[in-house]
Amino acid sequence: MPTWPSASTYHKYISRSSEDRPCVGVAAAARFAGDEIARLTVTVGATAELPQRFDDVTDAVHGGVLDADTRAQVAAAYAERIEPISDARGSAWYRTRMVEVFVRRALEDLAHAHGVAGGVR
Amino acid sequence: MTVNPIGLDYPMKDARDRVVGTMRFTIDHEVEGMAHARVVRSMVPHGTITSIDTAEAAAMPGVIAVVTGADLAADDRIASPFFGIGRKDQPPLAIGKVRYAGEPVAVVVAETERQARAAAETVWPEIDETPFATDHLEASRPGAPVVHDDWPDNACGAFRLHRGDPDAAFATAHRVYEMTYTTPSANPVPLEPHVGVAHWEDGRLTMWSSTQWPHVVRNELANIFGLEREAVRVIAFPLGGGFGAKGQVKMEPLIACAALVAGRPVRLQLDRDEVFFTVAKHAATMRFRTGVDADGQMIAREIELHYDAGAYANTTPGGMGNAVVRSPGPYRSPNIHITANGWYTNTVPTGSYRGALTTQVAFAYESHLDEIAHDLGIDPVELRRRNLLHDGDEYATGESMHDVHFAELLDDVANAIGWGESAAADGDPPHIRRGRGVAVILKSTPTPSRSEARIACRADGTITAYSSGVDMGQGLSTTIAQLAASALGVHPDVVDVVDPDTDITPYDAMTAGSRLTHAAGIALGHAATDLLAALAELAADQMEVAVDDVEHVDGAVVVRGAPAMRTSWGQVLADAGVAELARDGVFQSEGGAFAEPMDVKGVASVHWHQGAVAAEVAVDIETGKVTVERCHGAAFAGRVVNPTRARQQSEGSIIMGLGPTLFEEYLLDNGQLVNPNLSDYMIPSVLDVPVALTSHNMEHVDRANNEIHGVGEMTIPAVAPAVANAVFDAVGVRIRDLPLRAERVLRALDAQETTDG
């Protein structure tokens, strides 16, 4: 039995000094069966009151390939679903944008680690 | 023969104490019988005090006194409960009304700091809130809330400079550009907070304070209490950082008043949030209008500056003159009109911030020039070269510029950053764009100003230098030892340096404006010359030779041509029955440009500070985040006293400058400062330091000690414009408002896309 996950990553995006708390944090993990996504979870922290995870969004791509379109689809869905806070690290508008950027970059890491056809970006 | 120590990396005299933790700062100072103070602060930005209930606090354990502004106003031992450099408008505790959120309204004195804190929490001022203004442009408009009844238009200083015929020159200009730039408020964030101990004995006040201006503090305290200056003694240990935060007068009047009322020595140490409530950098709005000819020469300029004074005047009224003379930058300005106005607002009172009043205008004029260069299609370095001041040029003030090295500094930083070569780096991901920018700045040093120094030589062989210059981490005490040793021809090890103490060390205007190495160097030189002459006279008598035949070698006198006839200075004094021989020296700069505030002209600076910075940035176009990858600074030092410490000044200035460039700013919500802590207010960390950070302190090694320039703040004003110009070079967006927050850059990129699309 392969252990869960086969690839994982964490992106800590700091918008100000290196000592700042994150503006957005994204943890992502995946298990692949061949080129197919067997399981995918994405958790976004530092953006709302609580860490945010939308399993329905990631479940929807199980069985697919983690290609650029899929990555963009998941990233856009997270950006759409999260209601971010506003503070000195970024407004809600900005955090929404950063959620999309960093979910996408996290998924690129997973795809890259697995060697998904077409590579990263 | 002792080698001249100027230009040598002589180690800081207190280096070991600093490293092992035995260095003594004001924060460590205790006095027997000392009580502790805690300040109660206003929660509202503007309002009338209707009552302050102190009864509960007064009854709490250990409480000695609870003092309000009304108590100070009624105390006949206090001649005038107001202080301030520009205007005496600031009470130690609010009297009648509060003018900013965070203003002291009461002070509790108790046996322990914990008791004082507990009691302070029970003091509740009742304040009738009134409309407030936290924006200086809003405060400048008719009908704005009035911060001080004595200044109903909120005016806090106004200066004007007019030279040539700007209107006529604008009319002939090839092109005219007009842009407005803003910079926010910030805090100097010294590691050591403001701290002091006041002790009254027999009508005499001794104040230990973390201050950069001990003699000014003494004079202000004497004024408040109606005392002769000699009845006040101010002692300043080395500071755990100043950067301007400990300039002028800060908490000393409050501590001294608390000690007077409590009848005990009183110590007050501010918490970090209180440092933010005590002093802020001036926020500024700056409109620059420039007319150029076809070659890009700036033939007409109009500069309109508005500075936020905060709730109390402090240096702002006079400081607006400095803002005027620093705003043209290092450029020929034959036709120019400048106005600078300070405005009271309901915000933290302003004061010095390293590169005071200059970091604002430098961001504006160096961004502006870059914008003009790009529009004209002229290389930004080349456009600067065409406009820079050279020796003999007349500045906007009408003074003839001398010892000017702007072109060399510009070339130095441009070469160091690889100007003209592609900034793109192999291996960058596609969302990273690189760019480079440069900036050149000038800054005046306080003129006229005065520094005195004393050197004493004793029969026991010791030598001591006395100056009221404050060591705040820059290593000034070691610099003084080097300068005195150089003038005396001895090794710096044999020169002791006394910490500032107004009873002992002679007058010095301030440790600010990058002036001490220059000013104290000259004063020490005069003192040494007179001291050597006096020693020679004594020795000549003793040796029965002519004074002209006496020479000084390594702390001894020898007879010219007869080196065996050698007597140490200590022995000369012992033989003469003189325990101590001391001589004073004075630096007094002449000039001044501010006699007529509406007609600034004349010698604004005894010499002009000169600096330049080049930066390379990487901009993430998906997040807007700017990373400064490389930075090089250059300053003109005249003569470098200590290469390592001079380099640390230039590179430390750059690191400090990155904060307000990228993320430092006071954030207000409904008149309240919402980030007065180092979790929500960011300063650069070691990871924010550019991977490549270098500097060059330009000098002429044959210079005498009286031609040394300060280097404390030559690069900091150039950091923000160099970085902003590099961002433009990288991604083509122009940010005219600091800081260059990631979100701000991303919004600009979005707007650019919309415009281009």
Whole-angstrom Cα distance, residue B327 to residue B334?
A: 14
Residue B688 is given by DSSP the state G
- How far is residue B207 CA from its own chain's centroid? 22
- CB neighbour class for B753 (10 Å; exposed up to 12, middle 13-18, buried from 19): exposed
Whether the pLDDT of residue A74 is over 90: the answer is yes
What is the amino acid identity at position B220?
Answer: E
Whole-number pLDDT of residue B224: 98
Q: What is the 3-state secondary structure (H, E, C) of chain A?
A: CCCCCCEEEEEEECCCCCCCCCCEEEEEEEEEECCEEEEEEEEEECCCCCCEECHHHHHCCCCCECCHHHHHHHHHHHHHHCCCCCECCECHHHHHHHHHHHHHHHHHHHHHHHCCCCCCC
Whether the pLDDT of residue A119 is over 70: the answer is no
Q: Max CA-CA distance within chain B?
A: 93
Task: Say whether A19 and B625 touch across the interface (CB within 8 A).
Answer: no
Q: Count CB-CB contacts under 10 A for residue B53.
A: 14
Task: Say whether A17 and B685 touch across the interface (CB within 8 A).
Answer: yes
Q: Is A63 left (phi over 0), alpha (psi -120 to 50) or beta?
A: left
Q: Count CB-CB contacts under 10 A for residue A85.
A: 14
Whether the pLDDT of residue B252 is over 60: the answer is yes
Say whether residue B682 is in contact with chain A using an 8 A CB cutoff. yes
Mean pLDDT over B544-557 rounds to 95
Phi, psi of B14 (to 5 degrees): -105, 20
Tell me which chain B residues have a C-beta less than 8 angstroms from the C-beta of A17.
659, 662-663, 682-685, 688
Task: Say whether A98 and B623 touch across the interface (CB within 8 A).
Answer: yes
Whole-angstrom Cα distance, residue B520 to residue B380?
A: 38
Whole-number pLDDT of residue B457: 98
Whether the pLDDT of residue B424 is over 90: the answer is no
**Mean residue pLDDT across chain A:** 93
Looking at this predicted complex, what is its ipTM? 0.96
Count how many pairs of residues, chain A against chain B, have C-beta atoms within 8 Å: 49
Whether the pLDDT of residue A116 is over 80: the answer is no
Whole-number pLDDT of residue B757: 54
Residue B364: in which H helix or E strand, if any?
helix B358-376
**Best mutation site among B189, B628, B663 for testing chain A: the one with the most A CBs within 10 Å?**
B663
Chain B nearest-CA distance from A37, in A, is 25
Whose CA is closest to B664, among B283, B320, B323? B283
**pLDDT tens per residue, range B338-395:** 999 999 999 999 999 999 999 999 999 999 999 999 999 999 999 999 999 999 999 9
Mean pLDDT over B195-217 rounds to 98
Pairing of strands B672-673, B562-568: unpaired
Say whether residue A86 is in contact with chain B using an 8 A CB cutoff. no
Whole-angstrom Cα distance, residue B248 to residue B218?
A: 11
Task: Say whether A15 and B742 touch across the interface (CB within 8 A).
Answer: yes
Structure tokens at B193: 């907070």
Tell me which chain A residues have a C-beta less than 8 angstroms from the C-beta of B742.
15-16, 23, 90, 94
Whose CA is closest to B249, among B269, B226, B219? B219
Whether the pLDDT of residue A114 is over 90: the answer is no
Whose CA is closest to B641, among B753, B482, B436? B482
Predicted confidence band of residue A121 (pLDDT cuts 50, 70, 90)? very low
Tell me which chain B residues have a C-beta less than 8 angstroms from the C-beta of A94.
742-743, 746
Whose CA is closest to B533, among B577, B494, B569? B569
Report whether B266 contacts B35 (CB < 8 A).
yes
Angle between helices B716-731 and B358-376 (to 10 degrees): 30
Say whether residue A26 is in contact with chain B using an 8 A CB cutoff. no
Pairing of strands A52-53, B232-235: unpaired
Nearest residue, CB atoms, A90 vs list B684, B688, B743 = B743
- If you measure CA to CA, which chain A residue comes closest to B623? A98
Whose CA is closest to B580, among B589, B570, B594, B590? B570
Report whether B481 contacts B465 (CB < 8 A).
yes
Whole-number pLDDT of residue B589: 93
- The three-state secondary structure class of B243 is coil
**pLDDT tens per residue, range B365-375:** 999 999 999 99
Q: Please tell me which residue, B207 or B606, carries the higher pLDDT value.
A: B207
Q: Using the CB atoms, write b or e for A1-18: b if 16+ within 10 Å.
A: eeeebbbbbebebbbbbe
Whole-number pLDDT of residue B1: 61
Chain A nearest-CA distance from B103, in A, is 24
Whether the pLDDT of residue B5 is over 90: the answer is yes
- The three-state secondary structure class of B257 is helix
Whether the pLDDT of residue B587 is over 70: the answer is yes
Handedness of CA B690, B694, B697, B698 (dihedral sign): negative
Predicted confidence band of residue B423 (pLDDT cuts 50, 70, 90)? confident
**Residue partners of B540: CB distance under 8 A and separation at least 6:** B546, B547, B549, B550
With a pLDDT cut of 70, the percent of chain B lying above it is: 100
Tell me which chain A residues have a C-beta less than 8 angstroms from the C-beta of B683.
17
Tell me which chain A residues have a C-beta less than 8 angstroms from the C-beta of B667.
88
Whole-angstrom Cα distance, residue B305 to residue B364?
A: 10
Residues 423-452 of chain B whose Cβ lies under 8 A from any Cβ of chain A: 429-430
Whether the pLDDT of residue B755 is over 80: the answer is no
Mean pLDDT over B19-40 rounds to 96
- The three-state secondary structure class of B242 is coil
Whether the pLDDT of residue B490 is over 90: the answer is yes
- CB neighbour class for B258 (10 Å; exposed up to 12, middle 13-18, buried from 19): buried
Tell me which chain A residues have a C-beta less than 8 angstroms from the C-beta of B427.
none
Residue B108 is given by DSSP the state E
Q: What is the 3-state secondary structure (H, E, C) of B613-642?
A: EEEEEEEECCCCCEEEEEEEEEEEEECCCC
Q: Count CB-CB contacts under 10 A for residue B287.
A: 16
Whole-angstrom Cα distance, residue B324 to residue B443?
A: 11
Q: Where are the beta strands (DSSP E) in B15-140?
A: 35-41, 47-53, 63-68, 97-98, 104-110, 124-129
Chain B nearest-CA distance from A1, in A, is 36
Per DSSP, helices labelled H in B173-295 are 214-225, 252-262, 272-278
- The three-state secondary structure class of B270 is coil
Residue B174 is given by DSSP the state S
Task: Say whether B685 and A121 touch across the interface (CB within 8 A).
Answer: no
With a pLDDT cut of 70, the percent of chain A lying above it is: 93
Whole-number pLDDT of residue B563: 84
When mean pLDDT is compared over A31-40, B701-710, B734-743, the highest value belongs to: B734-743
Say whether residue B498 is in contact with chain A using an 8 A CB cutoff. no
- The three-state secondary structure class of B412 is helix
Tell me which chain A residues have a C-beta less than 8 angstroms from the C-beta of B746.
94, 97
Say whether residue A15 is in contact with chain B using an 8 A CB cutoff. yes
**Mean residue pLDDT across chain B:** 96
Q: What's the first-to-final CA gap in chain A, in angstroms?
A: 31
- The three-state secondary structure class of B84 is coil
**Best mutation site among A13, A16, A47, A71 for testing chain B: the one with the most B CBs within 10 Å?**
A16
Whole-number pLDDT of residue A120: 44
**Residue A37, beta-bridge partner list:** A32
